[in-house]
Amino acid sequence: MSTTSLEIPKQFPPFDLTRLLQTVFEPEKGEKTCVLIDLEDPTQVKDFAFLKNPALTVQKYAHDIFYQGINNGAGKALGLTGGDLYAYKKTGGSNLDMDDLAIDPKGNRLSLEKDIYPKYDIILCVSTYSATAPLTASAKKHGFRGATLHGLNEIILKTGLAVDYNQVSRQAEKLRLGLTKSDWVEIDYEVAGKSCTLHLDLGKQEAQKSHGLCRGKTPDVANLPAGPNFSPLAGVISKTKKF
């Protein structure tokens, strides 16, 4: 039996795009980056018309925080090039295949597979639905790194995207080591002031981790926010049984 504790931050530093990109990617100077958003009608990205729709809050955060942030200081600070924005059609569900058509703010019709994936080193997808699975497959095919940030909102910016992902990675590894090759675990956690225990039968599987780091030349896509800090099961692994 073993016990592993995870600490959930009670305070967070101010969100800093430069720090986030530096920590997650450790980009090299000259690496080219872009931002992808999803729209029901991708042509609404022309002349940034989508910004007039108050319902498109995720896409507005993508534009205001990431697209403008990269072009108004973060890109220069990190030596990044590009800083472009493209829209693709909403998939209607998490991790469904993405339509190949992409539209840029000038209204040009482009191909994700031919015009975008092969030409960028770092791709940030800020969307309504998660695109981690299809983007990861495309990253391994075309060689880029990236991050998916579906459902982005103010709370996520001030918490899950404001943390030090080096620390998140260390905590994720603690959790992975506590789980890996276990017969079963029990996780104590709290929801709305109520203490709960979850029993999971694991069958001695090798545990994996989502830790928010996507560095080096290995093609990969991080799902941000990442790590045990923001899992609904974050808490204390009270019992872990390994034979």
Which token pair is 135? 């983007």
Exposure string (b/e) for 74-113, b if CB count within 10 Å is 16 or more? bbeebebebbbbbbbbbbeeebeebeeebbbbeeeeeebe
Which token pair is 68? 């403008």
Instruction: With both helix axes pointing from N to C terminus, report the angle between 165-179 and 17-25 in degrees, rounded to the nearest 10.
Output: 40
Residue type, 129: Y
The more confidently predicted of residues 200 and 65 is: 65
Q: Write down the mean pLDDT value for the chain.
A: 85
The more confidently predicted of residues 53 and 159 is: 53
193 dihedral zone (left: phi>0; alpha: psi -120 to 50; beta): left
The more confidently predicted of residues 200 and 57 is: 57
**Which region among 83-87, 90-94, 157-161, 227-231 has the lowest average model confidence (pLDDT)?**
227-231
> What domains can be seen in the chain, in order of their start residue?
2-10+164-211+225-241 (no CATH), 17-158 (3.40.50)
pTM, entire model:
0.80
Would you state the pLDDT for residue 115?
98
Would you state the pLDDT for residue 1?
53
Would you state the pLDDT for residue 211?
53
Is the per-residue pLDDT at 9 higher than 70?
no
Would you state the pLDDT for residue 173?
66
Would you state the pLDDT for residue 97?
95
Q: Which residues contact 54 (CB under 8 A, 6 or more apart)?
A: none
